[in-house]
Structures are given as C-alpha cells and as structure tokens.
Amino acid sequence: MPIKNEPFKIGGKTIEPGTHEIVLLPAPDLYTQTKMNIPIHVFHGKQAGPKLFVSSAIHGDELNSIEIIRRLHQKNWIDNIKGTLITIPVVNIYGFIIQSRYLPDNRDLNRCFPGSRAGSLAARLAHLITKEIITQCQFGIDLHTGGYGKINLPQLRVNLETPGAKQISKAFEAPVIIDAKIRDGSLRQAASELGIPILVYEGGEALRFNELCIRMGVRGIEKVMNYLKMISVPSLNKKTEFKPVITQTSRWVRASVSGFLEPVKDITASFTVKKNEIIYYIHDPFLINPSVPVVAPFDGILIGLTNLPVVNEGDAICHIASTKKLKNVHAYIDELKSEISAPVLKIIK
Ligand SMILES: [Zn+2]
C-alpha cells in the first residue's frame, strides 16, 4: 500500500506532495549590491519515498555537471517520482558568473563543509547547503569534472564504509569506483559524517561539455533512482554484464622536466596502462635537451589526463587508478558506450 507523502519544508517554503517547485535560497550579495540566490528545484512526489539531492558546480567552472542536471529535467518521469528529488544546478553561483572554480574570496567551496553561519563567505554558503539540503536528504549525488585542462574518465568517488553507499555506487554503473575516506572539508565528507551516502561523479573537464560523460552521468543518476524505486523505468533494470573496477589506490604522475607534452596513448581507444608503459613524452620546445618519457608506475586505468600541451616540472599530468583488471574495465566501458551511443572522450593530440 503506497504511503502518501507529507508536505516538505525547505528554504522557508512548504512544498505540497505531487508538485514541482523552484526555491531560491538567499545567498550573500555581490559587492555591486546585486542580489544573489541559489535556485533549487524540488520534485516532491505524491507518494513517500527516498529523498535524494543532485548537486553540481560546487566548482563554478564545471559546466558538464550543470548540463547533466538540465538533461535530467527533460526526462519523462521527472514530474512523477516517488519520494523527493532536489536538484541544485549551480551551487557556486559566484564562480559560475566568471567561469571560475573558486568563490570571490578565492576559497574552494568544496573544502569548507559543513561550514558555519558566521564564518567566511565560503563557510556561510557551505552551511546553507548543509542545513537546507544535505541534512534533509538520505542520499546525494555531487557532480564534478576535472579541473581546467584536465579531463577525467567517468568515475565515482565514494566512501564505501558509509551504510548504503556500496549499493547505490554499484547501481550507478560507473566504470571505476575509487573508495576513499577523505578528511578534506568536502560536501562528501560532511554528508558521510552525517551517515548520508554520497556519490561524487567525476567526468570530463572544466569549461567544456563532454557528451560521453554527460550521458553516463544522466544514466547513472537514473539508475540510482530506479534502484531506490523513486522511478520505475523497465529499460533501466537491465544490468551490465561487467562489473566496475573498485580500487582504493590512485596516484598522480608528475612531470620530471618542463616542456611540451605529447600524449602517446590514445585514450579514445585505450585508457589502461601496464607498469612502465610510456604514456607521454615531454619535449624541449627549444630543441636543446632530449625528450623524456613519462611512464606508468603500476598497472592501472588512466582516470585523469592533462589536456594542455605545456607542463612545468612537478605538474600533475596523469592520474592512474591501480588495478590488475584491465581487460574487464575496457569491456565494461565499451558496453556502456554502445548502450548510451555517445562519442568517445576527446583529448588533444
Ligand atoms: Zn569539482
């Protein structure tokens, strides 16, 4: 027997069951005195069920994740869900205006959670999101991309020790799951400490759209909602044949010299590496010094790659997740790619 939903209070508004409301969370003004607010959407089902939030652009230049939410809103099921879905297309509205990762005080909002009412601008915003969104939900998905000039393979970052996290991370069906306990002031940490399982989805790069990562993100959120029985879409019940790679170890490989970066690997064809395999060459643009190879320190998956041709010594240029299951992850991504019929990842060459 379905249980009727109760009215839901958020941002000073009461949302009735069976409605979709837009709520404007008031945020600090710009110094031009321009009023600022963070628009959120609340889809409050007629029937009671799980409360899930999907947030994006905590880093204001991560446009790919905003597009994931825009496409989610176009789904046929959007006004007919069980439970409550809250979407926040742009958390860092300040950075979004100037296409920046950061806030006007140069802080990284995702290092300031859970925040405080009387703290810095970043702390106040984090507090607002914690109080109004996180503590009102039972599940969350926080959408990200690589930083500027860095492209990420679709992947989840999750603390699998949080009860419920393992089940929803598997339901998402991302090719790679990085199981990490973090103490970094992120939204994920704040939610995990409240016992709320959070998936961080990473895919693509800042300031660009990446079709594969967008479609995989939309599909993953739908898969989680279908698993939680918030929606009932028969085509989403089909499970993929292969299992995602779960790993606790990943490492950034840094440039040993400065120069021009030439990718050797074409990640549209292969993103797995064997120990000592050459991933890049670094060339001297003045043609004085010999070229230097960059090699993989262990067998693994390239989960993040620099997309800019110039590097300084010490720059993090590629992120590798350690695993021996190299064949499995290829088959899995190929299966996902054909299912969502998206173009492959793009990288400079
Ligand atoms: Zn981010």
In whole angstroms, what is the distance from residue 243 CA to residue 323 CA? 13
The pLDDT of residue 339: 72
> Can you tell me the distance from the alpha carbon of 259 to that of 299, in angstroms, rounded to the nearest whole number?
26
Digit-coded pLDDT (tens) for 175-193: 899 998 877 899 999 999 9
- Whole-angstrom distance, CA of residue 311 vs CA of residue 137: 42
- CA dist., res. 169 & res. 25, Å (int): 29
Gap from CA of 102 to ligand 1 centroid (Å): 10
In SS3 terms, the chain reads as: CCCECCCEEECCEEECCCEEEEEEEEECCCCCCCCEEEEEEEEECCECCCEEEEEECCCCCCHHHHHHHHHHCCCCCCCCCCCEEEEECCCCHHHHHCCCCCCCCCCCHHHCCCCCCCCCHHHHHHHHHHHHCHHHCCEEEEEEEECCCEEEEEEEEECCCCCCHHHHHHHHCCCEEEECCCCCCCHHHHHHHCCCCEEEEEEEECCCCCHHHHHHHHHHHHHHHHHCCCCCCHHHHCCCCCCCEEECCEEEEECCCCEEEEECCCCCCCCEECCCCEEEEEECCCCCCCCEEEECCCCEEEEEEECCCEECCCCEEEEEEECCCHHHHHHHHHHHHHHHCCCCCCCCC
Centre of ligand 1 from the C-alpha of residue 154, in Å: 13
Cα-to-centroid distance, 1 and ligand 1 (Å): 41
pLDDT of residue 349: 40
Confidence (pLDDT) at 345: 53
Q: In the prediction, which pLDDT does 343 show?
A: 56
Average pLDDT over residues 118-133: 97
pLDDT of residue 152: 92
**How many angstroms does the Cα of residue 283 sit away from the middle of ligand 1?**
30
Task: Output the CA 17–ligand 1 centroid distance in Å.
Answer: 33
Span from the CA of 210 to the centroid of ligand 1 (angstroms)? 15
What value does the mean pLDDT take over residues 46-72? Answer: 97
Which tokens go with 324? 């021996």
- Tokens standing for 308? 């800019």
How many whole angstroms from 297 Cα to the centroid of ligand 1? 26
Over 70: is that where the pLDDT of 24 sits? Answer: yes
Residues 6+ positions from 332 with CB-CB distance below 8 Å: 175, 240, 242, 243, 244, 245
Question: Does residue 240 register a pLDDT over 50?
Answer: yes
Q: Which residues of 252-272 are buried (b: 16+ CB within 10 A; e: fewer)?
A: ebebebbbebebebebeeebb
pLDDT of residue 243: 81
- In whole angstroms, what separates CA 240 from the centre of its chain? 21
pLDDT-based confidence at residue 348 (cuts at 50, 70, 90): very low
- Which tokens belong to 161? 């020790």
**Percent of the chain beyond pLDDT 90?**
81
Q: Is the pLDDT of residue 313 over 90?
A: yes
pLDDT of residue 163: 94
> What does the pLDDT average to over 312-319?
95
Please tell me the predicted confidence (pLDDT) of residue 307: 86
Ordered structural domains, the chain, with CATH = 8-239 (3.40.630.10), 249-340 (2.40.50.100)
Looking at residues 307-329, what average pLDDT do you find? 89
Q: What is the mean pLDDT of the chain?
A: 92
Q: What separation in Å is there between the alpha carbon of 206 and the centre of ligand 1?
A: 8
CA dist 308 and 150 (Å) reads: 8
Q: Closest by alpha carbon to 150, among 306, 25, 262?
A: 306
16 C-alpha vs ligand 1 centroid, how far in Å?
33
Taking the centre of ligand 1 as the mean of its atom positions, its distance from the CA of residue 145, in whole angstroms, is 5
Comparing 330 with 244, the larger pLDDT belongs to 244
| pLDDT reading at 344 higher than 60 | no
Do 292 and 301 contact (CB within 8 A), yes or no?
no
Mean pLDDT of 258-274: 85
State yes or no: pLDDT of 39 exceeds 70.
Answer: yes
pTM for this entry: 0.94
Question: Which has more pLDDT, 348 or 145?
Answer: 145
